[in-house]
Amino acid sequence: MSEIENPPNAAPEGPEDLTPKKHGLGLGARLRNYFLAGILITAPVSLTIYIAWLFINWVDQTVLPLVPPEYNPENYLPFSIPGIGLIIVLIVLTLIGAITAGLFGRLTRQLMESILNRLPIIRSIYSAIKQIVETVLANQSAAFRDCVLVEFPRPGAWTLGFVTGSTPAEVKESVGEDPVTIFVPTTPNPTSGYLIFVPKKDVKYLDMSVEDGIKLVVSGGIVAPGKAVPKKKASA
């Protein structure tokens, strides 16, 4: 009997190829992705609720001991109500605003301000805080109007800034060009930063809201808003 030779292209006999074929992610990778997705969904909500809860408890613990026992609702209720202190603060601030709107209130406020303005260190702190609060709440100036890009701290390095109020006349005379007043915040704390005056021709305006710009600064660039399209440079 003649031996039948194997065809030249036939695969050699042997054990089957045990190399696993890629049919998508494995079970471990899927579980890991599900876990990370759960963190991304629950972490912001949980942290927000937790911080709000801490703030409410702090206000309650600070305000309720100052309330006379006969006016404290918790002394008449069989259970505690979180947020009573915060409600009391809101009511008191509203009453103070209503009282100071009258003649007597204005005179009292002027008297307090005159006393604070005579204290060497306190008057500087009070004046700065007052200007900031009036700027943010009373909208007495167009603070943080636009998001811009400026070359800072050196040419070729661009950083995000916010256009603030108008430039003082003395600065305009010294610079010699039409400067823009820009606040350059630090990351991740946008309450500190640098105040710079940049010629208008060197400022690139962005189609980005101030809120998105602050998010970008606080997150260190991790939370990026939609693509910002630079506007044309303003003419000098």
Residue 60 has pLDDT above 60, yes or no: yes
Q: What gap in Å lies between CA 82 and CA 59, rounded to an integer? A: 10
pTM more than 0.85: no
Q: What is the pLDDT of residue 141?
A: 45
* pLDDT confidence tier of residue 87, bands split at 50, 70 and 90: confident
pLDDT, mean over the chain: 78
Bond before 153 cis per omega within 30 degrees: yes
Residue 150 has pLDDT above 60, yes or no: yes
Beta bridge partners, 60, equal none
Name which residue leads in pLDDT, 51 or 143. 51
Residue 94 has pLDDT above 50, yes or no: yes
Q: Where are the domains of the chain?
A: 146-218
pLDDT tens digit string along 172-207? 888 777 888 899 988 877 778 899 998 888 899 998
Q: What gap in Å lies between CA 193 and CA 160, rounded to an integer? A: 11
Q: What is the pLDDT of residue 97?
A: 82
What is the architecture of the domain spanning 146-218? Roll (2.30)
